[in-house]
Every structure is written in structure tokens, then in C-alpha cells.
């Protein structure tokens, strides 16, 4: 089966600054795929290119066999950005209705999807409050609910659990596992190592390059360590680890 997300030789520069260099990545249906790497390594830039919010300098991105950027494919992607883009003057529910209205949902389905997504992130009892009065964690949770509301086939989540307490984080990851079982493909960036361990496959990003890819256990074997945090730290050491593998 063709990969759901296929990235070929993608490079990106901002002015003279080279942020991504010749990235190749294949993400298959039903995978939870994690991007890990130090701050500033290029994870968000790569994600923005995948969803079509940014262009490549060179190289191509295909999502569901379609060259990106492509507006029609956005119907099939749930994207949660690193910073919340919400309307503070609207309530949580109004925000969800607004974003859901960008997609073709029937009224009954919309109601049911909003209820499901709000329940998932534990915001049901806060839906009638204005978002301006939400805490940072509540805003993250609402952004996640919005990414899910139109029942997309692909979820692309940029640090989805920042500012969310451990209990809710666990329940969100349990739900991501359920979504995966239901056949969804999930791409996630994280700095949280126990989340990285829950991914089927990880790509270690460093200085705009992919140092290594593999399952968490493959990466631990590759780096000869027994914790994924040690993989992350080894990958963060500024040396050309890439040459060693
Ligand atoms: N629009 C832009 N103009 C210029 N430089 C940019 C722009 N967007 C990102 N960068 C630079 O690209 C590099 C990669 O940034 P990016 O946000 O992709 O990293 P990241 O791995 O997602 O970091 P973090 O984990 O902190 O979110 C950084 O040096 C950043 O300053």
C-alpha cells in the first residue's frame, strides 16, 4: 500500500538559513509516527510543509497520493498547530462549530462530533465559557478537539499535550491508540519521552536532517541504550551521529 504521507528530498531555507535538508520520510496508514528532536531542529517547519502551510524550497510532499499543498486534502487532515489559533471572544463550543463549519458535516453529525471531541479532552462542562477565560492547558485541549471534530483520516499534532496534566495526557494517548486501531494515521511531535515510546515509528530530527528512523526499540538497539530518553540525548549531541549508523 502507498504511504499516506510521502516526503521526498524536501529542503527548506528561510533566506540564507537552511532549516531542512533533503528529508525523506514515508508514513503508512494506521501508524502513530513521532518526530522527536531538540528545539529548533525543524520539526514544526516539516509539519507545516506537510499540511501545506509552508512551501518547500526543493522536494515534494504527497499526502494521500496528492501533491501538497492541496485544499481538498485538508478536509481529510486534522491539524493541531503548536500555538493555539482560537477566538477568545467565542465560547469553546462556538469555536468548535466555527472550525467544523469549514468542513462538510451534517447538523446531527456535527453535534455528535462536538460532543465526542469535547468529552475526549474533558471540556464538556466548559463548552459554554468564553475561550478568553480558559487556562493554557484548556486551550490546548480545545485545539486538539477542533483537530478531531471533522473525523479526519490523518491527524497531524504539533506538541499536542504541552500544558496538559499527566492524567489527561494518558487518556488522550489512550484515545490516540483507539484512533489508530480505527485506521487513522497520526503524526505527532513531542518532547515527552514516554509519549515517544508509544509511537510505532520515530524519526530523530537534528539540525534539519533525519538522523535515524525506526521503532522505539529499534532506535534503542541502534544507539545501544535501554531508554528512549537516552536515544534523544545521544541524537542531541552535536556530532555527526548519522555517520555511525
Ligand atoms: N518563518 C521563519 N523565518 C525564519 N526562520 C524560521 C521560520 N520558521 C522557523 N524558522 C527557524 O527554523 C528553525 C526550525 O524551527 P522549527 O520551529 O521548525 O523547530 P522545531 O524543531 O519545531 O522546534 P520546537 O521543538 O522548539 O518547536 C529554527 O531555527 C527557527 O528559528
Per-residue pLDDT, 237 = 61
d(CA 89, CA 117): 21
Pocket test for ligand 1, best of 37, 40, 193 (most atoms within 8 A of CB): 40
Q: What is the pLDDT of residue 86?
A: 95
Q: Which residue from 186, 94, 80 is spatially nearest to 143, judged by alpha carbons?
A: 80
Which pLDDT score, from 0 to 100, does residue 245 have?
41
Cα distances from 208 to residues 16, 17, 173, 185, 222, in angstroms, run 14, 11, 27, 23, 20
What is the Å distance from ligand 1's center to 40 Cα? Answer: 5
Nearest CA to ligand 1 atom 6: 14
ipTM of the complex: 0.97
Q: Domain spans of the chain?
A: 5-49+58-192, 211-245
Give the atom of ligand 1 at the shortest distance from the alpha carbon of 15.
Answer: 4
Question: pLDDT tens digit string along 109-153?
Answer: 999 999 999 998 889 999 999 999 999 889 999 999 999 999 999
From 42, 157, 191, give the residue whose CB has the most ligand 1 atoms within 8 Å, as the site to mutate: 42
Position 233 scores a pLDDT of 84
Q: What fold does the segment set 5-49+58-192 form as a domain? A: Rossmann fold (3.40.50)
Nearest to 143 by CA among 79, 88, 98, 73: 79
What is the pLDDT confidence band of residue 105, given thresholds at 50, 70 and 90? confident
Amino acid at each position: 500500500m502507498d504511504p499516506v504521507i510521502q516526503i521526498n528530498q524536501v529542503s527548506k531555507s528561510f533566506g540564507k538559513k537552511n532549516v531542512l535538508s533533503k528529508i525523506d520520510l514515508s508514513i503508512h496508514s494506521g501508524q502513530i509516527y513521532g518526530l522527536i528532536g531538540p528545539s529548533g531542529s525543524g520539526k514544526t517547519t516539516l509539519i507545516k510543509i506537510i499540511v501545506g502551510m509552508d512551501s518547500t524550497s526543493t522536494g515534494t510532499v504527497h499526502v494521500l497520493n496528492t501533491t501538497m499543498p492541496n485544499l481538498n486534502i485538508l478536509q481529510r487532515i486534522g491539524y493541531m498547530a503548536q500555538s493555539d489559533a482560537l477566538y477568545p471572544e467565542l465560547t469553546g463550543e462556538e469555536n468548535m462549530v466555527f472550525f467544523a463549519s469549514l468542513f462538510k458535516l451534517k447538523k446531527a453529525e456535527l453535534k455528535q462530533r462536538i460532543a465526542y471531541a469535547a468529552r475526549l479532552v474533558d471540556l464538556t462542562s466548559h463548552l459554554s465559557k468564553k475561550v478568553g477565560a480558559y487556562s493554557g492547558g484548556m486551550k490546548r485541549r480545545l485545539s486538539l478537539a477542533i483537530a478531531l471534530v471533522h473525523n479526519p483520516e490523518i491527524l497531524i499534532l504539533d506538541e499536542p499535550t504541552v500544558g496538559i496534566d499527566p492524567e489527561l495526557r494518558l487518556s488522550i494517548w489512550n484515545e490516540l491508540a483507539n484512533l489508530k486501531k480505527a485506521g487513522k494515521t497520526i503524526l505527532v511531535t513531542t518532547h515527552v519521552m514516554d509519549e515517544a515510546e508509544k509511537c510505532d515509528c520515530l524519526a530523530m530530527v537534528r539540525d534539519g536532517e533525519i538522523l535515524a528512523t525506526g521503532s522505539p526499540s529499534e532506535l534503542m538497539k541502534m544507539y545501544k541504550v535501554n531508554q528512549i530518553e537516552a536515544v534523544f540525548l545521544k541524537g542531541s549531541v552535536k556530532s555527526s551521529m548519522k555517520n555511525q549508523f
